[in-house]
Amino acid sequence: MINLGYAALGTALPVQDHLIDSVVATALGMPLADTNIRERVWRPLQELLAASYEQVRACIRNPSWATPPERSMPPLAIRDAILSWPVDACPSNLSAALIELCAEVEAEDALTGLASSIASIDPSVSNTVDQSPSAQLLSAIWIETVNTDAS
């Protein structure tokens, strides 16, 4: 049994933050306690959206304004955390797509990236959304995640 200060652990780590716990699980050679693919994929998607929103905010801010602190993980740090997941933590096609999305968010410009594409969706106009490649990839990842969990 390992005591990390917040809980005594047995044979699996309790999952609280997949981006951190997956690194610890790999280092300790222990599996993550949950097997829900949606939970595992949702965390990096949230982090990538937050990173993209911060890029948009930084791009459109008046330079004379005070710079707010960054609160999100950089896309490359998210990628590194995904790469550290145990092999059986997520289907390889989803892991590969998440890594691709990390690269796209890292390289995006604030006007055509993931956050700006999602912010410009008009829900009153169905099936006419012109999404950025990043937003299309995010949609495909989530659809595949739901399908994987359902099977």
- Could you read off the pLDDT of 24-75 as tens digits, one per residue? 666 666 655 555 788 889 989 999 999 988 888 877 777 788 777 778 889 9
10 occurs within a structural domain: no
- Could you read off the pLDDT of 120-130 as tens digits, one per residue? 666 565 554 56
In 10 A of CB 87, how many CB atoms? 8
Check pLDDT > 90 for residue 15.
no
Total domain count, the chain: 1
138 occurs within a structural domain: yes
What is the C-alpha to C-alpha distance for residues 18 and 7, in angstroms, rounded to an integer?
17
Among residues 70, 69, 96, the alpha carbon closest in space to that of 83 is found at 96
- Do residues 88 and 34 touch, judged by C-beta distance below 8 A? no
137 occurs within a structural domain: yes
- Residue 60 tokens read as 């459109």
4 occurs within a structural domain: no
Residue 58 structural domain:
36-150
Looking at the chain, the whole-number percentage of residues with pLDDT higher than 90 is 20
